[in-house]
Amino acid sequence: MATTFKRILVGVDDSADALLAFDYAIHQAKKDDAELVIVSVLENDEMNVYQALDSDYIHGERDALKEHVKTYQQQAEEAGVTKVKVIIAEGEPGETIVKNVIPHVEPDLLVIGSIAKKGVSRHFGSQAAYMAKYAKISVMVVR
């Protein structure tokens, strides 16, 4: 018997792999009539110390990311997913998604790309591997 998912969490960061993961998550959400929760993580380590101390800068970055992630929500809705939510988190993506987002959202599937867009974690082996290893739910790594 095939598994049916009720709530799917997908991580997006604009990398080619994340876009493939997003397409897969849309397809799976439509197939299962599942809720789709789209998460993007604002990485604090990419800010310099002055930016990190400037709450206006952080709010600006967060608002810009939120607006950007809404385009993913719109795309999912246009593709026919009826239940779509968006979450913006802060921190290191792998750890933040595993320790904060998953317990809060309670999805039964996490869909992620294998290669991050930026940072030292470009290759599979850091963020995606961390999530695949430590998430207490099924993880689909797309490449």
What is the average per-residue pLDDT within 55-64? 80
The overall pTM is greater than 0.85: yes
All structural domains of the chain: 7-142 (3.40.50.620)
pLDDT in tens, 119-129: 544 444 578 88
Contact 88, 117 (CB under 8 A): no
CA angle 7, 9, 115 (to 5 degrees): 150
CA angle 114, 8, 16 (to 5 degrees): 30
pLDDT in tens, 8-51: 999 998 888 899 999 999 999 999 999 999 999 988 766 666 67
